[in-house]
Amino acid sequence: MNGRRLVIALAGNANVGKSVIFNYLTRLHQHIGNWPGKTVEKAEGTLHFKGYTIDVVDLPGIYSLSTYSIEESISRRFIAVDKPDVVINVIDASVLERNLFFTLQLMELETPMVIALNQMDVASRKGIQIDVEKLEEILGVPVVPTIAVKGVGIFKLLEKAVEIFEGKLSAKPKPVKYGEEVEQRIERIAEAVRDSGLPYPARYVAIKLLEGDREIQEEVEKADPQAAALARRLGEELEKLHGHSCPTLITSERYQAANCIAREVQRLIPPVKPTLGEKLHNVTTHRVAGYLVMAATLLSMFLFVFAVGNILSEFLSSLLYGLKPFFEGFFGTGFLAQLFWGGVVEGLIAGATIALPYVIPFYLVLYFLEDSGYLSRIAFLMDSIMHRMGLHGKAFIPLLLGYGCNVPACLGCRIMETQRERLIAAFVTTLVPCAARTVIILGLVGRFIGIQWALVLYVFDLLIIFLLGRLAFKILPGEPTGLIMEMPDYRLPHLRTVLSQTWFRLLEFLKIAFPLIIVSTLTVKLLEALGMLSFFTSLLAPVTVGWLGLPVETGVTLLFGVLRKELALIMLTTLLGTTDLSQALTPVQMTVFTIVSMFYIPCVATIATLVMEFGWRKALVITVSEVFLALVLGGLALRILVLTGLR
Amino acid sequence: MSTTVETGGREVPLAMLRDGETGIVVSVKSGYGGAWGLKKRLMDMGITPGTRITVVKSAPFHGPMEILVRGYRLAIGRGMAERIFVRVEETQAGCRES
């Protein structure tokens, strides 16, 4: 191989087809992970083109290069500090003005760039015609019209990017000229910060200082307090002059520039009749019909995930457990062989039969909903309800998914904007009784006490979720964020992109979850084999017997329940020696046991997901506080139920 | 505070507008205690003074508003809409919005 490498970054707004271009470029050579220490996805891939090995980095979809969100500051740092050789700025031709606002900021970063003017087909359907050459001339940056979903223009885009890199194409970006008064002050500040050693161009630093960017302000303050003071003083002058705050002024003027460019290059011939997408939008956000459509969609999505999940799960488990005779034929049934089977292989099977079958269809559905644009309509409809627990509309999706399986639900929390909201959403999501916990609720309380009491428990759970959601919202520091969300035009999701997104995120999940599942399964099995399990249950006796009033055997089931929740019930019948649990447990004991199982700990796969999304510390805090919560609620329930005269 | 746009009419929070009404942004207030991250975000989405905004509809139960701004569809929560002050347009004089 020749060593010619080149790094290309894809940058642009959300919903512009960036990931379609990314998938088109990199196909199966992708790696999806997180940015170091952040809950922000990092997609990287490689391709070979004209003798180059090109690394492509897909930056998160953002609307500005301020530091409002983690995504924005990650993108900015990457472009300014890691300096990709070329940035491909993907813009949506059908929403040119807002996209150009971002483009103008990229140009201020003075990075070598090419513009992919994407969704040309959507634009022309909306009656928008764009003069590409004129746009190119005004911006001073090469512009390539593309229709990513059909692969149109991608080759040319890549060609231009390489030409820029090789210096064959001289791009001279013509950055925004602000108003006279602003421009003078930008120059003075830029002069002052030129030697401050910041990784950004001086003019960019000057603009961001006036724009009130916290991160840059702090950096300049450290490097050159005098320059920072000058910027503050000149900013105040501008505020007096214009009557608006300085950030407002700069943002307005940049938008003004974007507006002028857009007006100059596009011709509008609005279609007479509304498009199908518009009709769909009206129905799906209607105050009555919208909710009906949502209920139907979510129900079918739920059924799809669990129907597919169940089939896959049963298939995999019969297949994998069927391997046991072969395994024993090969390794025998000695102590180590049994430990290996019980600990490692069954751990793998548990992971493969619980998590995988549900994670795959879940990802498919989620990306389908997201790429089509429907997710934002659901968030629109559910916003006011979710607001009551301090979250906004998007959090409804993970919460609902939690009833199936907490693992995909926690992964779904990524759709929230800020780290704080992700954490609150994940926390309440793990309190939602998943399918395995439903087995306990229905199989114990529902079957032996009455289905109405099972329903009471569900309502109780919802109540706790709302209360704790509010509490978490109050405790965790940070500005409560309201909904500010683009509702993009509906479109048909690009199948290959959805499939590839599913596949690569699945790989990432396997890498994190499986080791943890195996280690914990092995530990429990080892304890069991060494006969130490009874030691632990007697250790737990003060809690299980003393506080919760349960038979001592339940200690073991609660321990195993960490691995697989639905196992708890099966084990209970084995340990108590009867399938008619009403003979071994009183109704109160059943209720307490069910309440504890509902809340006490997310299963090991969920914990693994929490670790992957939020790191060890936060995962631990959530886990421990939920164990504590379960015990408190269980003990209280026992005492209240006994007080009311039940036994 | 002077504004660049002279349209006449009343100046109200965007949240007060009825479905189908159009207003021109006069100012965007920052959050409680001067927290202006959200204000900046609103402006980054194109809601700057002088911008024309049309309210398309509001979600029930005091839910978010769907607005048209700079040729695209944006959903913003009630709390956000309370902070955006607009001057209501009395006459239809649209030049850009379709």
CA B24 to chain A, closest CA, distance in angstroms equals 13
CA B90 to chain A, closest CA, distance in angstroms equals 24
Looking at domain B11-88, its CATH architecture is: Roll (2.30)
Query: How many Å apart are CA A419 and CA A613, to the nearest integer?
Result: 10
State which residue of chain A sits closest to B47, comparing Cα positions.
Answer: A252
**Tell me: the pLDDT tens digits for B28-54?**
987 654 556 788 889 999 999 999 999
Pick from A513, A614, A311, A409: which is nearest to A521 by CA? A513
**A564 vs B94, higher pLDDT:** A564
DSSP 8-class letter at A395: G
The reply to whether B70 touches chain A by the CB within 8 Å rule is yes
Do B78 and A482 count as a contact with CB atoms less than 8 A apart?
yes
Q: Which residues of A319-329 are buried (b: 16+ CB within 10 A; e: fewer)?
A: ebeeeeeeeee
Instruction: Give the ipTM.
Output: 0.85
Query: How many Å apart are CA A51 and CA A3, to the nearest integer?
Result: 9
- Looking at residue A435, its amino acid is A
Pick from A447, A553, A247, A4: which is nearest to B34 by CA? A247
- Residue B8 pLDDT exceeds 60: no
Q: Tell me the residues of A at the B interface, defined by beta carbons under 8 Å apart.
A: 63-64, 66, 68, 95-98, 101, 127, 212, 243-244, 247-248, 251-252, 255, 259, 263, 268, 270, 281, 285, 287, 376, 379-381, 383-385, 387, 392-393, 479, 481-489
Domain ranges of chain B: 11-88
Low-confidence ranges of chain A (pLDDT < 50): 1
Interface of B with A in 42-61 (CB under 8 A): 42-46, 48-51, 57, 59-61
pLDDT for the residue A385: 84
CATH class for domain A5-166?
A: alpha beta
Q: Give the other-Cβ count within 10 Å of B19's Cβ.
A: 11
Which of B44, B65, B67 best tests the A interface by mutation, with the highest count of A CBs <10 A? B44
- pLDDT-derived band at B98, boundaries 50, 70, 90: very low
Q: Angle at Cα B74 formed by Cα B65 and Cα A474, nearest 5°?
A: 65
- Residue B7 pLDDT exceeds 90: no
- Are the C-beta atoms of residues B22 and B54 closer than 8 Å to each other? yes
Predicted structure pTM score: 0.84
- Are the C-beta atoms of residues B18 and B83 closer than 8 Å to each other? no
pLDDT for the residue B91: 52
Query: How many Å apart are CA A215 and CA A212, to the nearest integer?
Result: 9
Helix, strand, or coil here: B9?
A: coil
pLDDT for the residue A400: 79
Point out the residue among A66, A97, A485 whose CB comes nearest to the CB of B44.
A66
Do B27 and A244 count as a contact with CB atoms less than 8 A apart?
yes
Which of A13, A106, A119, A248 best tests the B interface by mutation, with the highest count of B CBs <10 A? A248
pLDDT for the residue B1: 40
Q: Give the other-Cβ count within 10 Å of B88's Cβ.
A: 18
Q: What is the mean pLDDT of residues B17-27?
A: 93
A139 exposure class (CB count in 10 Å sphere: 0-12, 13-18, 19+): buried
**Tell me: the pLDDT tens digits for A405-430?**
788 788 778 778 777 888 889 999 99
Do A248 and B75 count as a contact with CB atoms less than 8 A apart?
no
The reply to whether B13 touches chain A by the CB within 8 Å rule is no
Do B72 and A98 count as a contact with CB atoms less than 8 A apart?
yes
CA A318 to chain B, closest CA, distance in angstroms equals 48
Q: Which residue carries 């001057």 as its tokens?
A: B87
CA A267 to chain B, closest CA, distance in angstroms equals 11
CA A562 centroid distance within chain: 25
Query: How many Å apart are CA A304 and CA A216, to the nearest integer?
Result: 48
**According to CATH, what is the number of the domain A180-268?**
1.10.287.1770
- Token readout for A526 is 């080892």
Q: Which residue carries 């690569």 as its tokens?
A: A504
Point out the residue among A252, A287, A380 whose CB comes nearest to the CB of B64.
A380
**Tell me: the pLDDT tens digits for A181-211?**
999 999 999 999 988 888 899 999 999 999 9
Judging contacts by C-beta atoms under 8 Å, the chain B residues touching residue A392 are: 77
Judging contacts by C-beta atoms under 8 Å, the chain B residues touching residue A417 are: none
Alpha helices by DSSP H, listed for A266-345, are: 276-284, 289-321, 324-331, 335-339
Q: How far is CA A392 from CA A16, A222, A595, B43, in A?
A: 23, 37, 28, 20
Point out the residue among B2, B51, B72 whose CB comes nearest to the CB of A486.
B72
Query: How many Å apart are CA A121 and CA A101, to the nearest integer?
Result: 22
pLDDT for the residue A146: 96
Point out the residue among A248, A268, A383 whose CB comes nearest to the CB of B98.
A268
Q: Give the other-Cβ count within 10 Å of B66's Cβ.
A: 21
Pick from A123, A66, A72, A118: which is nearest to A94 by CA? A123
**Tell me: the pLDDT tens digits for A355-409?**
677 778 877 887 888 889 998 999 899 988 888 777 888 888 788 778 777 887 8
CA A504 centroid distance within chain: 14
CA A257, A258, A262, A265 torsion-angle sign: positive
**Tell me: the pLDDT tens digits for A546-579?**
898 888 878 878 877 777 776 677 777 777 777 7
Beta bridge partners of B74: A486, B67
